[in-house]
Amino acid sequence: MKTFKYVGDETNFWIAAEGEPNLLKIEATGSTTDGTGTMSFSDWNAVAPHKAPAATEVISIPGL
């Protein structure tokens, strides 16, 4: 898969260059005292989006 890599001062981002422009990976490159690491993202849209409940299933509580 082709990706775009954006390089920041202490963080790198990989974005899909084909199809939807989803975030694929974040890499923290700061000093070890600030914390470093990598997060990878996959299975975008694998779970169907939630739908709002029907109006008959919604209640209103005064004061909240």
Residue 32 placed within a domain: yes
Residue 18 placed within a domain: yes
Q: What is the DSSP string of 19-48?
A: SS--EEEEEE-S-TTT--EEEE---TT-SP
Q: What integer pLDDT is reported at residue 33 of this predicted model?
A: 67
Residue 9 placed within a domain: yes
Q: What integer pLDDT is reported at residue 32 of this predicted model?
A: 62
Two structure tokens written together for 63: 């004061």
Q: Rounded CA gap, 64 and 62, in Å?
A: 6
Q: What integer pLDDT is reported at residue 34 of this predicted model?
A: 67
Residue 61 placed within a domain: no
Q: Model confidence over 2-60: pLDDT tens digits? A: 999 999 888 999 999 999 999 999 998 876 666 778 999 998 888 888 899 999 999 99
Residue 28 placed within a domain: yes
Residue 17 placed within a domain: yes
Instruction: Give Cα separations from 40 to 7, 23, 27, 46, 55 (angstroms).
Output: 16, 9, 9, 15, 38
Q: Which domain holds residue 7?
A: 3-42
Residue 55 placed within a domain: no
Q: Rounded CA gap, 11 and 28, in Å?
A: 4
- Structural domain count of the chain: 1
